[in-house]
Structure formats: structure tokens, C-alpha cells
Copies of this chain bind each other. A is one copy, B any other.
């Protein structure tokens, strides 16, 4: 899936960062990169750090101004290292990504990253509908440009993939064991253990129920029930005595 969001780097200082941003974008299925007055570009260090995402670098637009880079976009979000006095609404990356993805069908969208040392100026933020802030450790918020881009692009991808699948915990291939298959399993284990003195004859029920509960929690499938029954059979003292 290609996610058509433009990432704009404003006056990036280190060419290595440009390459690492290209790589971060491509891992998340993004390829629209614009550079506003990069200090050095193209550059061997950018290409090296892009590591397989050099197609993103090669297609990057190099612009003279921020407005040139975002001119065709109907929705622009800027990044902000911390909350500023500027009364621009601030979003976390998740909410930002939701808003961006909602708008993709109707307009082009840009996410604007400020220069490494100082971020966006107030003037540059003035082009943004929202600011997005990554809620980093207050005592050490030293996220570099590529790491911040990686997180934002990840959230854009998650939003584009749809949250729907988020809560499906496990993909299971075999059908879950039925209640009667489980009952057979439990009875089998109890029978195998019965002659061993494992169950306290005074309180046999507590331990039995605890074993059952434990296996319920495993949410066994049919194959696993068969595996366990195979193991119980292999360990069955009666069977061993006979053999």
C-alpha cells in the first residue's frame, strides 16, 4: 500500500538524516519527499544512509521555499518538539495520523519537519493547520529527525491500514477445541493422575478445577488437545504397566 503523504524537510543540515528519513518513509510505504533548501544534497552520505530507499531520494523535490514545497497541499501539519506559546492546535501522532488519512481522499497532505537544531519557525508554523508533538521523555526528548519521521510515518501507516485489525490478538489456524473435547481432555488427565497419589483424597476437587481452569486459559485448539492426549497416553501408568 502506498500512502500518498508528502514529507517535507525544512533546511535539513545533515545529509545523513535525509537518507535516513527516506529509508524510514519507504519502510512505511511512503515515497513523496520534498527538501526545502537542504544544506547538502545530493550527497554520498544521504545515499549511503538511504540504503535501498535511494529511489525515494532520487525522486525528492528540492525547493527554494516552504510554500513551494506545500503549495498544492490542502492539509499541512507541522512538527513541534515541545509545546510552544503559539496557539496552534497540537495533536499527538496518532490523532494526527487519523486526521491526515481522513483527508487523503479529498486533498494532498504534507507533514513538515523543521530543521534539526531549532525546529520550525513561527512563520513556518503559520502554514500549518495543526502541529504534531511526539510525547517524548520530558527530561530527554532528543529524538533525531529520522526517528521522529519513523514514528510519524508508522502512525500514518497504522491509520491507513485501519484500526480495525488492531484488536485481533492471535491468528489461529486450527479450530478451537469444543467444550466436549476439552472435557475429554480433562477427564483423561484426571484418570491418568488418579492412581498416582497426586490428588489429595480429602480435597480432590480443588486441584481438579484448578487444572481445568489452567487449560481453559490456554484456549486450546483441536490439534493441541490431540497432542496433550498423546502425551497423557504416553505417561499413563496403567498403559505402561501393561506394556
Contact = CB atoms under 8 A, between A and B. Distances in A.
A179 interface: no
Contacts of A161: 135
Contacts of A240: 196, 237, 240
A170 B234 contact: no
Contact of A140 (B26, B169, B231): B26
A151 to B, nearest CB: 5
A215 B217 CA distance: 9
Nearest to A228: B214
A27 B143 contact: yes
Interface in A114-142: 130, 134-137, 140-142
A177 to B, nearest CB: 11
Interface in A154-172: 154, 157-158, 161, 163, 165-167, 169-172
Interface residues of A, number: 70
Number of copies: 2
Interface stretch (A34-42, A61-69, A85-93, A101-109): A85-93
B234 A198 contact: yes
A147 B192 contact: no
List of 7 A-B pairs having minimum Cβ-Cβ separation, nearest first = A89-B170, A196-B234, A218-B218, A235-B235, A198-B234, A29-B137, A217-B218
16 contacts: A1-B137, A23-B144, A52-B142, A87-B171, A89-B170, A89-B171, A92-B158, A134-B154, A135-B158, A135-B161, A189-B231, A196-B234, A198-B230, A214-B218, A217-B217, A217-B219
